[in-house]
Amino acid sequence: MKIIVFAPHTDDIELGCGATLSRYIKEGAEVKYIAFSICEEWVPKEFPMDILFSEATNAAKSLGVKEENINIYRFRATELWKVRDKIFDIMFELNKSFSPDMVFCHSKNDLHQDHSTIAIECERVFKSSTILGYEMPWNNTEFKSNCHIKVEKEDIENKIKALDFYKSQKCKNYVDEDFIWSLAKVRGVQIKEKYAEAFEVIRVKL
């Protein structure tokens, strides 16, 4: 299986689908990891402005993504809608060269303008792929959890290990082990499994 995961901002992927990535990489999937912004203007003052580049690279590698499949751009956070033509072109080229079976991005119901911009461009470009939108409960006033991906305890542990590379983001209350385990349990209970991650179906190709 060929998978592309998109993050408007570094750490979105790990938070939204880190355990799913861990599972599919273990099962042999080839994964491309694409982040559009390293959010330099949001980095706490005690860290180098570009620290999210190395934190994200290390996090992705810890999940098993090959270094050559990690691509991190430096578009300005909160303004991705201004460069949606460039984002479209990047996605268009990836679709042509890699032709993914499955694409992960945010839910289209995410309130953050960068998150929904990427989700909409994904739907425009990847017409022949399954597209699943990951959740960010702090940004979703509506989220239809109509797809669940079962994961193992080890996959949640790998997700937490990957997030641990983001030393500059520790102040966020959702980068918290209890929260991550609890959400994985809630999503697991919904499908009579121990752990899962939930997604909103944007497109399914069978």
Can you give the binding site for Zn ion, defined by CB under 5 A? 8-9, 12
Residue closer to Zn ion, measured from CB, 9 or 187:
9
Both tokens assigned to 45 = 């003052």
Residue nearest Zn ion, CB atom distance: 9
In contact, 108 and 200? CB cutoff 8 Å? yes
CB closer to Zn ion out of 139 and 150: 139
**How many Cα atoms occupy the beta-carbon half-sphere of 3 within 13 Å?**
23
Q: Strand runs (DSSP E) across the chain, as ranges?
A: 2-9, 30-37, 70-72, 102-106, 130-134, 147-151, 195-203
Specify whether the CB–CB gap between 48 and 8 falls below 8 A.
Answer: no
- Nearest approach in angstroms of CB 1 to Zn ion is 25
The nearest distance, CB 87 to Zn ion, in angstroms, is 14
Tell me whether residue 4 or residue 188 sits nearer to Zn ion (CB atom): 4
Shortest distance in whole angstroms from residue 72 CB to Zn ion: 13
Q: What residue ranges in 93-162 does DSSP mark as E strands?
A: 102-106, 130-134, 147-151
- Classify strands 130-134 and 195-203 as parallel, antiparallel or unpaired: antiparallel
Q: How far is the CB of 12 from Zn ion (least distance, A)?
A: 4
CB of 93 to Zn ion, least distance (A): 23
Sign of CA dihedral 45, 50, 51, 55: positive
Which residue number, 17 or 195, has a Cβ lying nearer to Zn ion?
Answer: 17
Choose between 8 and 188: whose C-beta lies nearer to Zn ion: 8
